[in-house]
Amino acid sequence: MAGGEVKKGMSREEAGKLYEQLRKNMESKFGKGELDSIIQKEKQRVRREQAAAKTKVSGTRPTGVAAAEAYPAIRRGSGAQAAMLFVVFFAVMKMGISLMEASGIASVSNASASVVGTAAPGVSAGYSREEAKVLTALDERRVKLEERSAGLDRREAEMERRDREFAARLTQIRDLTERLKSDRLQNDHRKNAQLDQLANVYGSMNPAEAAQLMDQLDVTIALSLIERMPEKRIGQILSLMSPERALTMTRMLSNKQ
């Protein structure tokens, strides 16, 4: 009955292709030697069943010409052999399908569908399940690397922005330092010019008047004025100043020298 159903469902060529596919799958699962052993055992079982059937029929079949006419298929060795091979083929096919289903291997028609179902988006259906898993893992790794690269790019851009801000602030500090230095030099120059002018004024005065006024000035200012005068004028003014103030001025002048 099983043979009749297969003939209605597929051609001989399709059955042959299916057999080859099943054979390859079983060889990859059990190995060629073990598969050949299974086929031989199945052939022996079919032969035993046929021998038992012949023995049973021989007890009731007619003899002579009637027997030859009644049982032409039994007398033809090639026909019996073909029938046996046909039965073995479908027995092996059925057994192979059962073994593969028990082992978790899908049938030939469902294998490609399972690969397509488990493959990642963008993976071709022509890959096996293992290849699809590898490609899926590689794709996930690629996505993680791209995310990491994007994060590194953002950090690099942030560091470049901070470097630019730091460089701009450093430039501002340098400019401010230069301006302060320039202002200080200008102030020193202006102060020195004023002291030079005052020193000329005090130097042109009467020594007694100049000594009296310089006794009343701050000692630092008085020192700045007197050191700008000629040595002769310094001696005249110091001799007319109070002894204490003249001694202090003399000490300060000697320390500067």
What is the tens place of the pLDDT at every residue in 106-123? 444 444 444 344 444 444
Listed by start position, the domains of the chain span 2-105
> How does the average pLDDT of the chain come out, rounded?
74
pLDDT over 60 (residue 57):
no
CA 126/CA 128 separation, integer angstroms: 7
CB 203 within 8 A of CB 231: no
Q: What would the DSSP string read from start to end of 130-177?
A: HHHHHHHHHHHHHHHHHHHHHHHHHHHHHHHHHHHHHHHHHHHHHHHH
pTM for the model stands at 0.36
